[in-house]
Structure 1
């Protein structure tokens, strides 16, 4: 049944596959290393590009785990929609990317292995879940900096007609030296539309009441709700809701000393009614976001965290 969920992409930003020269197979270009993590999406391995020794991350996706397929211009075979979305976000040589979005370097269809997606691997980096787990709740200026970067990256996605649909701490990489972030994992992503969505493959504890109750949502309010959960997670050290009943209540309980302005923004993002939530642009103009942030020059030193390689 999954094969029926095909997106026919006609995005002008995508490279014309006919313009590509035949490339060498994966094993001629990359070495695959240790397993970094796995889940419903597939598995991610460390790797190295043979030509110059560049460190990369390699995501393996089995065909039977692909939830949505896309048809690329000029291509005969369909590909997982994640590949198509990444191409339009700067995963090719013709499309400028965004510094806040992980860059796809290459992709391969491998007989018996499904699909292999090769990504840049920032060094040193750590996902935000581990960052918070080791450090505890973040100082508000640090959380503000991270949230601003995430929103700017999401604005870029939306400008390209793409919605991520799984914004959470595990899908944000932090450069532990500079505090720069990158959004990863577009496996739950989709083409951005103004119509109602009735499918969702993101993380349930980051999903809004309208999905829990009605299995329906609009993309932009869903994104803003997940940002409210993320901001609470950053400044309190954990997510606000664990159960469906708590999500439906939409009333976060602050367990840490948080400024009134920060609480105000979180409550606005976590408004029960989708239409009462702010836009991404309104979040950036909120008084808490307009406060002067510390200059995060050396995040590793500030947080006393050893970088994860």
Structure 2
């Protein structure tokens, strides 16, 4: 049975966010296009903003799929937790400043009796990291390092806003194939960040840590770091390290490519069996592999169809 909890967000948790009590009808503002993808999170469609022709992505969520709700401060309005988290991260034009590494919500609509529509920016020349790796194979370490650094910095921003993503994986990272810039997407499994233990998890099992597999509980930061270890392995080896629960619990990835000792060291540290033995996000950024120069990335980008950012 779904745990449909309602979380009351204090005004300081959504500082600067005002609930919109009156909304124009969706069809007056946007045109819905073709289906881009679907899954347990809902369905995503292409779309267009009528006022200026801006290309957008529209996520459709059925009411019966929503597991956590949040009360917006100062109102009786209850919205899916995902919308509340996106508002706090800088959603909707003209509200809080966001982060370049996090997808921006432009608008949201309640469809009476059906569910919700969330309108997102739709960056051009992007594909998710899963497809990027599928097409190109394992990434060269300088490119993996560049992507990994951006993911960590975006997650630091999330944590500074009191939010944990809980589903970091290649499918939830968009790559701009021209610049090499990334954006984290899909906060449908996200939650408010807390120091106490979590006993619910709606993320991707093959990215989850041993403590969830064995004990059905975890702390937010070590969970995040474990998933980052799986992600980094995926980038440099071309596939995830674990497919079965037994492999996750064993926590001993087998490197299928020639990977530098420094990179292997960071992956092993992130995949430490005990949560308290894993690094913090700040410690990851200070690891020797992360400190290596990427001045030669331009040569590698020609092979991977990535041009340097300006």
Residues 247-288 of structure 1: CA deviation (Å, up to 9, x unaligned): 000001001000000000000000000000000000000000
Secondary structure of residue in 2 paired with 1:263? helix
Q: Paired residue for 2:59?
A: 59
In 1, Cα distance between equivalents of 2:21 and 2:205: 42
Q: Paired residue for 1:244?
A: 245
Q: Paired residue for 1:24?
A: 24
Is residue 30–residue 49 contact of structure 1 (8 Å, CA) maintained in 2?
Answer: yes
Deviation at 1:111, TM superposition (A): 2.3
Deviation at 1:6, TM superposition (A): 1.1
Correspondences of 1:1-309 after superposition (within 5 Å) = 2=2, 4-10=4-10, 11-17=13-19, 20=20, 22-92=22-92, 93-294=94-295, 296=297, 301-304=302-305
Q: CA RMSD in A?
A: 1.7
Deviation at 1:78, TM superposition (A): 1.2
Deviation at 1:302, TM superposition (A): 3.2
Is residue 194–residue 218 contact of structure 1 (8 Å, CA) maintained in 2?
Answer: yes
In 2, Cα distance between equivalents of 1:76 and 1:281: 38
Residues 1:215 and 1:72: Cα distance change in structure 2 (over 3 Å): same
Residues 171-222 of structure 1: CA deviation (Å, up to 9, x unaligned): 0000000000000000000000000000000000000000000001000000
Deviation at 1:155, TM superposition (A): 0.2
In 1, Cα distance between equivalents of 2:296 and 2:58: 33
Is residue 127–residue 174 contact of structure 2 (8 Å, CA) maintained in 1?
Answer: yes
Count of equivalent residues: 303
Secondary structure of residue in 2 paired with 1:174? strand
Deviation at 1:125, TM superposition (A): 0.3
Secondary structure of residue in 2 paired with 1:289? helix
Secondary structure of residue in 2 paired with 1:158? helix
Deviation at 1:73, TM superposition (A): 1.2
Deviation at 1:22, TM superposition (A): 3.4
When the two structures are superposed, what TM-score results if normalisation uses the length of structure 1? 0.94
In 1, Cα distance between equivalents of 2:48 and 2:104: 15
Secondary structure of residue in 1 paired with 2:58? strand
| Structure 1: gaps of 5 or more residues | none
In 1, Cα distance between equivalents of 2:299 and 2:173: 19
Is residue 179–residue 299 contact of structure 1 (8 Å, CA) maintained in 2?
Answer: no
Deviation at 1:76, TM superposition (A): 2.1
Deviation at 1:45, TM superposition (A): 0.3
When the two structures are superposed, what TM-score results if normalisation uses the length of structure 2? 0.94
In 2, Cα distance between equivalents of 1:46 and 1:53: 12
In 2, Cα distance between equivalents of 1:152 and 1:204: 24
In 2, Cα distance between equivalents of 1:42 and 1:139: 33
In 2, Cα distance between equivalents of 1:296 and 1:252: 27
Is residue 4–residue 67 contact of structure 2 (8 Å, CA) maintained in 1?
Answer: no
Is residue 179–residue 298 contact of structure 1 (8 Å, CA) maintained in 2?
Answer: no
In 2, Cα distance between equivalents of 1:107 and 1:75: 17
Secondary structure of residue in 2 paired with 1:223? helix
Deviation at 1:112, TM superposition (A): 4.3
Secondary structure of residue in 2 paired with 1:23? coil
Residues 1:301 and 1:164: Cα distance change in structure 2 (over 3 Å): same
